[in-house]
């Protein structure tokens, strides 16, 4: 997986990318977080690979803190490369240039291989044609082996200078995908565009073949660039429509090519299925998770690569839906033990996600399943297993649902656990990764303060070196009147839930402030965390004296499955009620002006914002919705069916969730709909149909479009315009006609900070170094004139 150099190329003085071999994941300045496995190279036990602020890729010695430059900054400038990956033997670098995004994670690019020892270079192209963009290119786990994908076919090279071998030839543009996700798998299942996996020894490659032949097509018109609009077609399965068909193959790369299909165990209850996870356990065995289309039954199997036989290891079932199905297990070196998270009953609140250890004792006829953690909190990620100490390392919400801390637990009784990061001052939300030999771990402190990245000794947990402290950003923030973040408890049913409140720096109890509700509400999601973030809403709070709140109601994550599954077949009902309750509670505070309350959300949050604005006894004066879902029958099959069932059998659930029922109460409200016309995730069709209903109801609305922009805005001008538009809309909504904003208003604003524009952008990019997020578009919402 290639690393982004976007921050380096755009914000040259503030970039750092860090890699770890054990997890094969990177912490980098990516602006479009891929969430993919990627080859961090821990060169030796005490060395790691990183990209410096100056833009050089270096080998960094943790003990001596010495740096050896591998790839100079000028090489990136020479080829205008925006992504890179160093080969496992550290002798070559793969550079990507002319990168053109496709969907959220996928992109096409040209590639060149540069020797790190000589001036030699090699353009990477298939044998049939030269100098063409590829859909993917990346190194294997050893030496110089690599694969690339062109026209949905996979090509293999054993070394940089060896000839390319086509491993599979069945690819068909936009129809049959080999080693890559189609739209549905990229967005909803794998949540990455990569759908191939190397065996640890590099001798085999597992890959999926996804066939969209039967999936209905969606056409996205493009209005600019030619006299007549051009339609771009792709296969998009809406609720109840035919889904893509998927198969899993393993190809042997040593000797004559031999390909074997992995066959799932016969199970009449599964029927039509998704493959949600693939992970190699050993050089010849791989774990595969199969999930039925209804997403309430899954089977975890261990497949033998040489025969294609898959043996069931664990089966799971839910009365609601099965959550977090794409998480890969962690294996011991011999493959006899593997650790995975599953929802386990913990009393009255239902199930919480905890670590289970599945072990196969020698000569035993059955597996042994043990739970290593328990309690009314969730394990959010398993990071590493130390074979020597028999400790498992993981992140969890045990301290508080809005926090993430690093823990370790014994894998032998009595399964004691200990928090490693709980005593780290100013660090309530962390992520981490461990080196291959477990000597060191990388800790990313993501909040509540300005993020930092440090290396610690695993043995004594002492900090060895700070890789990023974001000093410039700290100075900038300390010089501004930034919002104050507070938390308030709200009781709903038997749950005590937390509301996050952002108040202006100059907050006074005797003043009256407008209120902005920031809404997400996606089932299993979480808005209220201690993670550091700055976006357009921060500017609104600081510049215009607005109070902004976030609240996670029923259906959100990390409160147990009973709380999560409340929304099953009732999307919008409980979420609307709980957000209204949050508004009722906060509006009773004497400092809140009840006549100036607004809400904002995107996608599912846009759906909820629209419902809240139209609700009876709504407190909202205005609302803005970005790419709102308005009809779940028009939305992706995997998403809609997970929560509402199939429209063929649960049509009433879809009818009740449809926004057209909520269009009649907008006559006296300010309602802004924002929608890119080329949105490939939430089609403009959602907004078009809903506007028809708004017109019939004589409702008040405004529409703002971004021509030919997709769901994730790529043009800088469009991102800036969106940020400014949202600030302008709510500033206008909250303005008091008879009063002016006091001259003593907080100083952070879109206009007054133009002098700081470079500083802010540079430092925000540095933050994205430290903060790995599936929603990195937040960083792009920080825009200053």
Mean predicted confidence (pLDDT) in 470-499: 91
For residue 210, give Cα distances in angstroms to 213, 243, 274, 364.
Answer: 9, 10, 10, 37
**589, 554, 595, 605: which is closest to 575 by C-alpha?**
554
Asked if residue 705 has pLDDT above 50, the reply is: yes
Q: Which domain holds residue 550?
A: 482-746
Asked if residue 93 has pLDDT above 80, the reply is: yes
Instruction: Read off the tokens for 611.
Output: 């419902």
For residue 306, give Cα distances in angstroms to 201, 248, 260.
Answer: 15, 13, 7
What local confidence, expressed as pLDDT, does residue 778 receive? 26
**630, 636, 547, 542: which is closest to 596 by C-alpha?**
547
What local confidence, expressed as pLDDT, does residue 9 receive? 29
**507, 500, 493: which is closest to 542 by C-alpha?**
507
Give tens-digit pLDDT for 646-680: 999 999 999 999 998 888 777 778 999 999 999 99
Give tens-digit pLDDT for 722-747: 999 999 999 999 998 765 555 444 44
Measure the CA–CA gap between 747 and 728, rounded to whole angstroms: 17
Measure the CA–CA gap between 399 and 123, rounded to whole angstroms: 51
Pairing of strands 57-61, 47-51: antiparallel
CATH number of domain containing 591 = 3.40.50.1820
- In 3-state terms, the chain is what percent helix, strand and coil (to 5)? 20, 35, 45
Measured over the CA atoms of residue 721, residue 722, residue 728 and residue 731, the dihedral's sign is: negative
The H or E element that residue 624 is part of is strand 622-626
What local confidence, expressed as pLDDT, does residue 739 receive? 54
What local confidence, expressed as pLDDT, does residue 84 receive? 94
What local confidence, expressed as pLDDT, does residue 355 receive? 97
Residue 584 lies inside a defined structural domain of this protein: yes
**286, 259, 260: which is closest to 275 by C-alpha?**
286
Residue 330 · residue 279 · CB < 8 Å? no
Measure the CA–CA gap between 687 and 233, rounded to whole angstroms: 19
Asked if residue 261 has pLDDT above 50, the reply is: yes
What local confidence, expressed as pLDDT, does residue 310 receive? 96
The band of 764, judged by pLDDT with boundaries at 50, 70 and 90, is: very low
Residue 395 · residue 429 · CB < 8 Å? no
DSSP string, 177-218: EESB--HHIIIIISSSSB-EEE-TTSSEEEEEEEE-TTSPEE
- DSSP 8-state symbol, 238: B
What local confidence, expressed as pLDDT, does residue 365 receive? 74
Number of other residues whose CB lies within 10 A of the CB of residue 422? 15
Whats the size of the chain, residue-wise? Answer: 785
What local confidence, expressed as pLDDT, does residue 585 receive? 95
Q: At what angle do helices 471-478 and 757-770 cross, to 10 degrees?
A: 130
107-134 b/e (C-beta count within 10 Å ≥ 16 → b)? bbbbbbbbebeeeeeeebbbeeeeeebb
Give tens-digit pLDDT for 236-250: 999 999 999 999 999
Pairing of strands 622-626, 670-676: parallel
Residue 418 · residue 391 · CB < 8 Å? no
Residue 560 lies inside a defined structural domain of this protein: yes
DSSP 3-state assignment of 448? strand
What local confidence, expressed as pLDDT, does residue 42 receive? 47
Give tens-digit pLDDT for 341-365: 999 999 888 999 999 999 987 777 7
Instruction: Read off the tokens for 394.
Output: 């993981």
Instruction: Read off the tokens for 74.
Output: 């000028």
What local confidence, expressed as pLDDT, does residue 31 receive? 30
The band of 574, judged by pLDDT with boundaries at 50, 70 and 90, is: very high
**775, 320, 305: which is closest to 520 by C-alpha?**
775
Mean predicted confidence (pLDDT) in 91-116: 95
Residue 190 lies inside a defined structural domain of this protein: no
Burial class from Cβ neighbours inside 10 Å (0-12, 13-18, 19+) for residue 567 reads buried
Give tens-digit pLDDT for 502-560: 999 989 999 999 999 999 989 999 999 999 999 999 989 998 999 999 999 999 999 99
The band of 437, judged by pLDDT with boundaries at 50, 70 and 90, is: confident
The band of 2, judged by pLDDT with boundaries at 50, 70 and 90, is: confident
Mean predicted confidence (pLDDT) in 708-730: 94
What local confidence, expressed as pLDDT, does residue 255 receive? 85
The number of angstroms, rounded, from the C-alpha of 424 to the middle of its chain's C-alpha atoms is 26
Asked if residue 769 has pLDDT above 50, the reply is: no
Percent pLDDT > 70 in the chain is 88
Q: Look-up: residue for tokens 């201690």?
A: 530
Number of other residues whose CB lies within 10 A of the CB of residue 667? 9
Burial class from Cβ neighbours inside 10 Å (0-12, 13-18, 19+) for residue 405 reads buried
- Supply angle C-alpha 770, 774, 776, rounded to 5: 60
What local confidence, expressed as pLDDT, does residue 26 receive? 36
What local confidence, expressed as pLDDT, does residue 767 receive? 34
Mean predicted confidence (pLDDT) in 399-412: 95
Asked if residue 385 has pLDDT above 80, the reply is: yes
What local confidence, expressed as pLDDT, does residue 277 receive? 97
Q: Which backbone phi and psi does 486 adopt, to 5 degrees?
A: -130, 165
Asked if residue 405 has pLDDT above 90, the reply is: yes
How far apart, in Å, do the first and last CA atoms of the chain sit?
A: 35
- pTM (two decimals): 0.89
Percent pLDDT > 90 in the chain is 75
DSSP string, 705-722: EETT--SS---HHHHHHH
Cα torsion through 460, 465, 467, 470, rounded to 10: 100
Asked if residue 305 has pLDDT above 50, the reply is: yes
> Alpha-carbon Rg of the chain, whole angstroms?
26
Among the ranges given (302-306, 475-479, 512-516, 738-742), the one the predictor scored with the smallest mean pLDDT: 738-742
Residues 6+ apart with CB under 8 A from 202: 140, 141, 142, 143, 145, 253
Scanning 457-560, the segments in alpha helix (DSSP H) are 471-478, 536-544
**529, 537, 242: which is closest to 401 by C-alpha?**
529
Residue 339 lies inside a defined structural domain of this protein: no
Residue 555 lies inside a defined structural domain of this protein: yes
Q: Which residue has the higher pLDDT, 760 or 562?
A: 562
The band of 771, judged by pLDDT with boundaries at 50, 70 and 90, is: very low
Mean predicted confidence (pLDDT) in 629-656: 97
Residue 213 lies inside a defined structural domain of this protein: no
The band of 8, judged by pLDDT with boundaries at 50, 70 and 90, is: very low
Instruction: Read off the tokens for 362.
Output: 């020698």
The band of 564, judged by pLDDT with boundaries at 50, 70 and 90, is: very high
> Total domain count for the chain?
1
Measure the CA–CA gap between 38 and 46, rounded to whole angstroms: 19
Pairing of strands 146-150, 57-61: unpaired
Residue 517 lies inside a defined structural domain of this protein: yes
Cα torsion through 567, 569, 570, 575, rounded to 10: 30
Mean predicted confidence (pLDDT) in 85-99: 94
Q: Which backbone phi and psi does 478 adopt, to 5 degrees?
A: -70, -20
Residue 317 lies inside a defined structural domain of this protein: no
Q: Which residue has the higher pLDDT, 645 or 5?
A: 645
Residue 245 · residue 235 · CB < 8 Å? no
The band of 414, judged by pLDDT with boundaries at 50, 70 and 90, is: confident
The band of 5, judged by pLDDT with boundaries at 50, 70 and 90, is: low
The segment with the largest mean pLDDT, out of 29-33, 295-299, 333-337, is 295-299
**321, 315, 327: which is closest to 278 by C-alpha?**
327
Measure the CA–CA gap between 736 and 747, rounded to whole angstroms: 20
Instruction: Read off the tokens for 312.
Output: 């069931």
Asked if residue 36 has pLDDT above 90, the reply is: no
Residue 453 · residue 770 · CB < 8 Å? yes
**40, 49, 56, 43: which is closest to 8 by C-alpha?**
56
What local confidence, expressed as pLDDT, does residue 44 receive? 57
The H or E element that residue 690 is part of is helix 684-696
Mean predicted confidence (pLDDT) in 214-240: 95
Beta strands of 504-574 (E only): which ranges?
513-519, 547-551
What local confidence, expressed as pLDDT, does residue 116 receive? 94
């Amino acid at each position: 997986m290639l690393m982004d150099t976007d921050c380096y190329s755009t914000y040259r003085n503030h970039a750092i990318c860090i890699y770890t071999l054990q997890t094969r994941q990177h912490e980098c300045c990516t602006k479009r977080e891929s969430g993919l496995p990627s080859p961090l190279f821990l060169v030796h036990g005490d060395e790691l690979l990183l990209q410096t602020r100056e833009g050089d890729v270096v080998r960094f010695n943790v003990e001596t803190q010495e740096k050896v430059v591998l790839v100079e900054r000028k090489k990136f400038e020479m080829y205008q490369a925006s992504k890179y990956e160093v080969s496992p033997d550290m002798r070559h670098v793969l550079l990507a240039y002319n990168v053109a995004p496709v969907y959220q994670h996928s992109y096409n690019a040209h590639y060149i291989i540069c020797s790190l020892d000589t001036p030699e270079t090699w353009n990477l192209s298939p044998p049939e044609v030269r100098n063409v963009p590829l859909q993917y290119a990346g190194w294997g786990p050893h030496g110089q082996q690599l694969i690339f994908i062109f026209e949905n076919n996979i090509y293999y090279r054993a070394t940089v200078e060896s000839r390319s071998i086509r491993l599979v030839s069945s690819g068909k543009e936009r129809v049959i995908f080999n080693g890559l996700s189609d739209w549905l798998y990229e967005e909803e299942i794998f949540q990455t565009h990569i759908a191939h996996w190397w065996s640890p020894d590099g001798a085999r490659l597992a890959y999926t073949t996804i066939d969209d032949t039967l999936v209905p097509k969606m056409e996205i018109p493009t209005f600019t660039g030619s006299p007549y609009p051009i339609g771009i077609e792709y296969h998009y399965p809406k609720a109840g429509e035919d889904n893509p068909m998927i198969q899993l193959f393993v190809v042997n790369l040593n000797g004559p090519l031999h390909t074997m299909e992995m066959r799932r165990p016969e199970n009449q209850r599964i029927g039509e299925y998704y493959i949600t996870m693939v992970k190699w356990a050993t050089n010849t065995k791989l774990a595969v998770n199969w999930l039925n289309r209804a997403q309430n039954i899954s089977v975890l199997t261990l497949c033998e690569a040489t025969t294609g036989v898959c043996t069931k290891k664990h089966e799971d079932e839910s009365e609601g839906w099965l959550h977090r199905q794409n998480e890969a297990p962690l294996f011991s070196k011999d493959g006899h033990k593997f650790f995975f998270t599953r929802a386990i009953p913990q009393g009255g609140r239902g199930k919480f996600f905890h670590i289970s250890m599945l072990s196969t004792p020698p000569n035993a006829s059955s597996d042994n399943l043990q739970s290593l953690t328990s309690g009314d909190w969730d394990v959010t990620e398993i990071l590493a297993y130390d074979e020597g100490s028999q400790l498992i390392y993981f992140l969890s919400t045990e301290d508080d649902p809005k926090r993430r801390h690093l823990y370790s637990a014994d894998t032998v009784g009595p399964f004691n656990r200990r928090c490693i990061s709980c005593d780290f001052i100013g660090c309530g939300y962390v992520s981490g990764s461990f080196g291959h030999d477990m000597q060191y771990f990388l800790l990313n402190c993501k909040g509540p303060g300005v993020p930092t990245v440090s290396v610690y000794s695993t043995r004594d947990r002492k900090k060895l070196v700070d890789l990023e402290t974001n000093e410039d950003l700290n100075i900038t923030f300390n010089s501004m009147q930034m919002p104050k973040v507070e938390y308030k408890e709200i009781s709903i049913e038997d749950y005590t839930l937390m509301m996050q409140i952002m108040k202006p720096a100059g907050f006074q109890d005797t003043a009256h402030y407008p209120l902005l509700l920031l809404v997400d509400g996606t089932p299993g999601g979480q808005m209220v965390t201690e993670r550091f973030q700055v976006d357009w809403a921060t500017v609104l709070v600081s510049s215009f004296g607005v109070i902004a709140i976030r609240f996670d109601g029923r259906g959100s994550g990390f409160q147990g499955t009973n709380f999560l599954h409340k929304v099953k077949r009732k999307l919008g009902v409980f979420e609307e009620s709980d957000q209204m309750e949050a508004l009722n509670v906060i509006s009773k505070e004497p400092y809140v002006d009840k006549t100036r309350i607004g809400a904002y959300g995107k996608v599912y949050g846009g759906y909820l914002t629209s419902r809240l604005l139209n609700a009876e006894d709504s407190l909202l004066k205005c609302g803005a919705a970005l790419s709102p879902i308005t009809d779940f029958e028009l939305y992706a099959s995997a998403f809609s069916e997970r929560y509402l069932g199939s429209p063929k059998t649960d049509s009433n659930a879809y009818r009740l969730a449809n926004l057209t029922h909520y269009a009649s109460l907008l006559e006296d409200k300010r309602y802004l709909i924002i929608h890119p016309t080329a949105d490939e995730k939430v089609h403009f069709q959602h907004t078009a149909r809903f506007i028809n209903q708004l017109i019939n109801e004589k409702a008040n609305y405004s529409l703002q479009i971004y021509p030919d922009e997709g769901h994730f805005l790529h043009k800088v001008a469009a991102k800036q315009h969106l940020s400014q538009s949202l600030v302008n809309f709510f500033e206008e909504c909250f303005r008091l006609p008879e009063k002016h904003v006091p001259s003593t208003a907080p100083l952070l604003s879109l206009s007054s900070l133009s002098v700081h524009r470079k500083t802010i952008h540079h430092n925000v990019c540095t933050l994205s170094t430290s903060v790995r997020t599936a929603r990195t578009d937040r960083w792009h919402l920080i825009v200053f004139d």
